[in-house]
Amino acid sequence: MLGATTDAFAEVWTDKRALLPHAGAVALRRIAAVEAARDQQPLRLELVKHVAAAVRSGELRAKLPAQILADMFLLNVFAALMAWSAAATPPLPLPTILGGVIDLFLHGAAGA
C-alpha cells in the first residue's frame, strides 16, 4: 500500500515539479482551515485501514495509533516532495526519493 501511494504521487508530480511548492502551500492552508475534512479524505482513510491491519498482523510494530502512523507517513511524503521540488537539480528521480520515504518509515534512519 505504501508503494502504491508513493507511485501515485510520483506519477502526478514528476513532470510538475515547479507547481509542487504552490500546491503544498494550498494544501497546508486547506488542512488548517478544514480539519474535519482531513478525517474524511479517501487516501487517508484507506491508508489508515492498511496501517491498522499491518499493526494487527505484526508487519508493523508501533507505539502509536494507526491514524497517527498514517499521518506521519503522508507528512514524510509531503516533506520529500517539497525538498525534491526545492532542489535546483534534484539529486534523484522522484520515485527513488519516495521509495526512500517508505524505507525510512519502515526501517528508520538508524536502519535497526
Percentage of residues in the chain with pLDDT exceeding 90? 26
3-class DSSP assignment, residue 55: helix
Handedness of CA 21, 103, 71, 1 (dihedral sign): positive
Tens of pLDDT, residue by residue over 88-109, are 888 899 999 999 999 999 988 8
Torsion angle of C-alpha atoms 38, 1, 22, 104, degrees rounded to 10: 110
What's residue 54's pLDDT?
A: 93
What does the pLDDT read at residue 18? 82
Under the banding of pLDDT at 50, 70 and 90, the label for residue 37 is low
> What pLDDT is stored for residue 50 in this prediction?
93
**Residues sharing a CB contact under 8 Å with residue 14, sequence separation 6 or more, in sequence order:** 93, 94, 95
pLDDT of residue 49: 94
pLDDT at 9: 78
pTM: 0.76
Domain boundaries defined on the chain: 2-107
Angle between helix 66-86 and 20-33 (nearest 10): 150
C-alpha span between 93 and 30 (Å, rounded): 28
